[in-house]
Amino acid sequence: MAESALTTEELRQRVARLPRIELAHLPTPLEEVPRFADVVGGPRIFIKRDDCTGLLYGGNKTRHNEFLMAEALRRGADVVVWGAGVQSNNCRQTAAACARLGLECRLVLSRSAHRDEIQGNLLLDYLVGAKVEIVDAEIGPELDEVIIKRAEELRGKGRIVYSWDRHEGRPLAAVSYLLCLAEIVDEMQERQLPIDAIYVSSAGATGAGLTLAKAVLGLACPVRLICPIKWPWDTRADMAEIANQVASLLDLPHRLGADDIDATEDYIGPGYGAISEGGMEALDLLARYEGILLDPVYTSKAMAALIDHVRKRQLKAGQNVVFVHTGGTPAVFAYRDELMEAKKGR
Ligand SMILES: *Cc1c(COP(=O)(O)O)cnc(C)c1O
């Protein structure tokens, strides 16, 4: 790859060609967590607070939705059909975006990853006025089928529907994470510190966007993607494809292959949506040493990977690591029993 790197400003100008609406509080803060770093015993750690994007408790999907909902409005949609697990952070943030934009929101939520008690994200879905349907379909292709069916039914009634479509939606979502990396690069430059590694929980658009941005900005450090879920497809090839769709959307010459995606499935633990031992340790330490909450499904497992890499000396004192906190914290209320059980003896 011989393309010359873009500056963060040039990257922002490139992205400014796409329709976008303002939903998130940006830039999010970049906070150092010295007491946590001390107890973990390795590099300096900076947390990019994308859990603070603002809308209904925030998270990475609010960045995504600045581009996705702009597309919904461009198409003249009057109803949005979205879906994922009952404790989906995506659906909670999308329901809030719909409330703000005056769009009807219909959610198809799978109880396959968590029981469907009205708590956490699910409670918030109801409070912002989403119409919720809870189904047994597995998250992934099976649930996608139900979403497509519901969207078709509404179209049959003359509604203009914007619905979650894995193939159409993810490149638009990923664009927003090019901008996130631009923020991180500027913030670390302001501190006059190099970045030695970036960690984030992702098996989709977020990681694809960050990895493409690394190439576009000519960053040398690894962008480590810690997968929260094992998809029934080749995740690395899939993320490279998302990145390449973004690149062509923005007329960028960069093309990534599966080998350019630094992703691991080693920290999923017992499964998607189930808390892991390492994740529980990470959640416990960051909460008690910094007063910052991780979530049980995504960010705690990504932080568990960071801690594990410190212990394996892949990360060392003197280095500067950025952890992208993608949100998800309302889920702690729905995971009360699991969290209190796992906390015993800590
Ligand atoms: C959705 C989500 C992720 C993963 O985002 P992708 O774009 O699918 O990779 C990570 N963390 C949290 C808290 C999420 O809600």
Residue from 196, 216, 214, 212 nearest 204 by CA: 212
Tell me the CB-side half-sphere exposure of residue 106, using CA atoms within 13 A: 21
Which residue minimizes the CA distance to atom 1 of ligand 1? 90
Answer whether 93 contacts ligand 1 (Cβ < 6 A).
no
Domains of the chain, residue spans: 8-58+168-344, 61-165
User: Tokens 């009952």 map to which residue?
Assistant: 86
Which residue minimizes the CA distance to atom 4 of ligand 1? 202
Q: How many residues does the chain have?
A: 346
| Interhelix angle 89-101/60-74, nearest 10 degrees | 50
From the list 4, 88, 176, 276, the catalytic residue is: 88
Which amino acid type is present at position 247? A
Res 3: pLDDT: 65
Residue 201 known to be catalytic: no
Distance 228 CA to ligand 1 centre (A): 8
Q: Which one-letter DSSP state was computed for residue 29?
A: P
Summarize pLDDT for 242-272 with one digit per residue, the tens. Answer: 999 999 999 999 999 999 999 999 999 999 9
Answer whether 201 contacts ligand 1 (Cβ < 6 A).
yes
Topology alike, domains 8-58+168-344 and 61-165: yes
Summarize pLDDT for 45-86 with one digit per residue, the tens. Answer: 999 999 999 999 999 999 999 999 999 999 999 999 999 999
R_g (Cα) of the chain, nearest Å: 19
CATH architecture of 8-58+168-344: 3-Layer(aba) Sandwich (3.40)
pTM summary value: 0.97
CATH number at 61-165: 3.40.50.1100
Res 287: pLDDT: 97
Do residues 132 and 166 touch, judged by C-beta distance below 8 A?
A: no
Which atom in ligand 1 lies closest to the alpha carbon of residue 202?
Answer: 9
**CB neighbour list of residue 103: distance below 8 Å, 6 or more residues apart:** 69, 72, 77, 78, 79, 80, 97, 162
CA dist 12 and 284 (Å) reads: 37
**CB neighbour list of residue 172: distance below 8 Å, 6 or more residues apart:** 18, 64, 67, 68, 71, 249
Residue from 254, 195, 266, 255 nearest 227 by CA: 266
- Residue stretches of the chain with pLDDT short of 70: 1-3
Q: Which structure tokens are listed for 34?
A: 């010295």
Helix (H) or strand (E) holding 80: strand 79-85
